[in-house]
Structure 1
Amino acid sequence: MLIGELAKQAQLSRDTIRFYEKMQLIQSITRNNGYKDYPEQTLQQLQLIRTAKNLGFSLGEIQQILEMTAQNEIPAIQVQGIFQEKLNMIDEKIAQLHQMRTMLSRLTQGEACPLRKDCPIPELN
């Protein structure tokens, strides 16, 4: 499948597909005429990439997942572990954002400003 058709089916730009190929998330085969041909499985890989990105996975994490799936199907217990690890990271980030929000809320309600020389700077944990 040529890049234009792949882009259309995957609902991605050609530049995005080229970027993913440069990052070695997908592979193509170069034809004799210089055009790149993408195997049918590339569409499934792009759908997996999109889903993983929507779940908050980085391209590095997605690359690891793709490497595991290329070897064999990932065991369910390992998938659960990957999801739990991401969930823990999200929970940690939510806690940090909540702490930042609380501090900013206090500052908007008149608490001493930590950005002035005479104000103590509270620390985020």
Structure 2
Amino acid sequence: MSLTSDDLADVKQLMESVLSGHAAEINKRFDDVNKRLDGVDERLDGMDKRFDSINKRLDGMDERFDDINERLGSIDKRLDENEEIQNEILNAIGIDLNRHSARLDDYEDRLKKLERGVA
């Protein structure tokens, strides 16, 4: 059996319609995928905005922490200076403490002698 040119034209038209149908289905699927990807892009844009605002807040917190660290550094410095002064005072007291203790013991002995002498 041989095909006529009309038969070949019909086969060609049938193949074109099948391909056109498949192409339309593929295009529809691509459109759906593109819509979904657009939705994902919108969500990601929203997330980017949120992260940007979070980053700004964290930058503000970093600045505050830097200020706090500076204050704590100056407080530590003052505490170290005060500790040095206290150590000097305690050393001065410790040096004179033995002398004062001996002097108090001497006064106590004198008072006891005076009490015995009066009695």
Using the size of structure 2 for normalisation, the TM-score is 0.31
- Structure of higher CA gyration radius: 2
Using the size of structure 1 for normalisation, the TM-score is 0.29
More helix by share: 2
